[in-house]
């Protein structure tokens, strides 16, 4: 099958940027800085991401990222107008000014977020209160041995019924704690409101809903260790692997990840080298029953930038040998419907920048699952609030996606 080009070819031959400081580098810059480049297009954002910097978010063409001064200067050498807007370490101290006595608690003022232990208690209580429609298990263990919780919600929860299945995953990236709260919102809503809310009841009766609230519990716990935020993204295996660059489809293919262990987008030494991605993938593989994948739709929640993204991330093409034009159109139509419900911006993942080894690309290419990513609140981050919004934002920003979750659950019953 031929490919439909998107007309974006500038990134095709991009080289990774050197990290040596060229002549004329600003001598006063030291330590990790927070930088912005305004008015970027996809090719420029890919150039920046390929430099090995830590991309935080994008809004209205402005890309925000953390980088060493040498990386920022190298980008300036490529003709990009890179503006320093803050110091990462100073911002981390400002965002978590007090040290909590307990090592595993969120900073003071953010107690509304759930630690791994608190999350476990909430899931166990949901099953205790709603055992007729909810069951708790695990898809496997993290690198440090934490259970990767899986909760199933369905009217006959102990049976494997012939119903469309939908999977929600959260917290692949450690510092994106709001996403764990999003998965908890789904669990609590579809258990507590069953029998009283007609829409919830109908969907639970006609679907099998699976939720993994944290794919990266080790990283999430490390990120808040000592009651201070660290801005940690990866898992805790050796120097850390970016879980959303470790999936097996087009792993490391296209400059959308890094082979350097020190990089925030380090893809790992091989596809599925991280126990967390292996565990989730094995669960998805196990839902092939009688030769047919039972999971028909999936959302992977991230933060931030308020985006709805769909495959592919590794190529600018709309369609290719693994996605027909009709299938690409369906992704776009569903993505636009989801975005219309919550005010996010819909776009193909590569319109943001090129990524490879991502969960959405693998879900679709390997299993034909309608798999999308939500980048949650805020649209643009001021300092660290992009990753660490105050806990009073949890309720409105998770409820904001109620309708989108319903739309996807409904779409799961439709054939492409």
Number of domains comprising the chain: 1
Q: Is the dihedral of CA 347, 351, 352, 358 positive or negative?
A: positive
- 3-state secondary structure (DSSP) of residue 163: coil
Distance (Å, whole) CA 110 – CA 114: 9
**What's residue 31's pLDDT?**
84
**What's residue 94's pLDDT?**
87
Which phi and psi (to 5°) does residue 3 adopt? -110, 150
Low-confidence ranges of the chain (pLDDT < 50): 1-28, 416
Task: Please state whether beta strands 62-67 and 33-37 pair in parallel, antiparallel, or not at all (unpaired).
Answer: antiparallel
List the domain range (segments joined by +) for residue 185. 116-411
**What's residue 414's pLDDT?**
87
> Catalytic site residues?
375
Q: 92 in a domain, yes or no?
A: no
**What's residue 99's pLDDT?**
63
**What's residue 118's pLDDT?**
98
**What's residue 76's pLDDT?**
96
**What's residue 98's pLDDT?**
67
Q: 9 in a domain, yes or no?
A: no
Q: 142 in a domain, yes or no?
A: yes
Q: 398 in a domain, yes or no?
A: yes
Task: Please state whether beta strands 345-348 and 307-310 pair in parallel, antiparallel, or not at all (unpaired).
Answer: parallel
Distance (Å, whole) CA 368 – CA 360: 10
**What's residue 380's pLDDT?**
84
**What's residue 385's pLDDT?**
85
Q: 201 in a domain, yes or no?
A: yes
Q: 39 in a domain, yes or no?
A: no
Q: Residue 370: which CATH number?
A: 3.40.630.10
Terminal CA-CA length for the chain:
18
């Amino acid at each position: 099958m031929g490919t439909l080009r998107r007309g974006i070819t500038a990134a095709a031959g991009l080289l990774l940027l050197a990290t040596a400081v060229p002549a004329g580098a600003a001598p006063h810059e030291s330590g990790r800085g927070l930088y912005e480049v305004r008015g970027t297009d996809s090719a420029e954002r890919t150039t920046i991401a390929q430099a090995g910097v830590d991309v935080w978010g994008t809004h209205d063409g402005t890309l925000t990222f953390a980088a060493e001064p040498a990386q920022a200067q190298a980008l300036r050498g490529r003709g990009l107008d890179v503006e320093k807007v803050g110091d990462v370490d100073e911002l981390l101290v400002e965002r978590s000014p007090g040290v909590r006595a307990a090592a595993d608690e969120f900073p003071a003022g953010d107690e509304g977020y759930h630690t791994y232990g608190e999350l476990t208690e909430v899931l166990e209580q949901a099953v205790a209160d709603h055992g007729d429609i909810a069951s708790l298990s695990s898809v496997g263990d993290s690198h440090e041995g934490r259970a990767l919780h899986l909760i199933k919600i369905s009217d006959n929860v102990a049976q494997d019924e012939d119903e469309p299945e939908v999977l929600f995953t959260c917290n692949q990236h450690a510092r994106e704690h709001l996403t764990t709260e999003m998965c908890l919102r789904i669990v609590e809503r579809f258990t507590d409101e069953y029998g009283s809310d007609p829409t919830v009841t109908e969907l639970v009766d006609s679907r099998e809903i699976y939720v993994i609230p944290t794919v990266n519990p080790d990283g999430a716990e490390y990120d808040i260790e000592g009651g201070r935020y660290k801005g940690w993204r990866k898992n805790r295996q050796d120097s850390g692997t970016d879980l959303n660059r470790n999936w097996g489809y087009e792993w490391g293919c296209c400059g959308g990840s890094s082979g350097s262990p020190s990089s925030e987008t380090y893809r790992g030494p091989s596809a599925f080298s991280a126990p967390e991605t292996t565990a989730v993938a094995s669960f998805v593989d196990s839902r092939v029953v009688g030769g047919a994948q039972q999971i028909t739709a999936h959302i992977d929640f991230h933060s931030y930038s308020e985006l709805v993204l769909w495959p592919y991330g590794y190529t600018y093409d709309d369609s290719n040998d693994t996605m027909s034009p009709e299938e690409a159109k369906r992704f776009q139509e569903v993505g636009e419907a989801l975005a219309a419900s919550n005010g996010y911006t819909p776009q193909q993942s590569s319109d943001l920048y090129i990524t490879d080894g991502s969960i959405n690309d693998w879900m679709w290419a390997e299993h034909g699952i309608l798999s999308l990513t939500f980048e949650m609140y805020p649209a643009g981050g001021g300092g660290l609030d992009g990753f660490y919004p105050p806990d009073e934002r949890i309720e409105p920003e998770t409820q904001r996606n109620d309708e989108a979750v319903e739309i996807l659950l409904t779409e799961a019953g439709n054939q492409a």
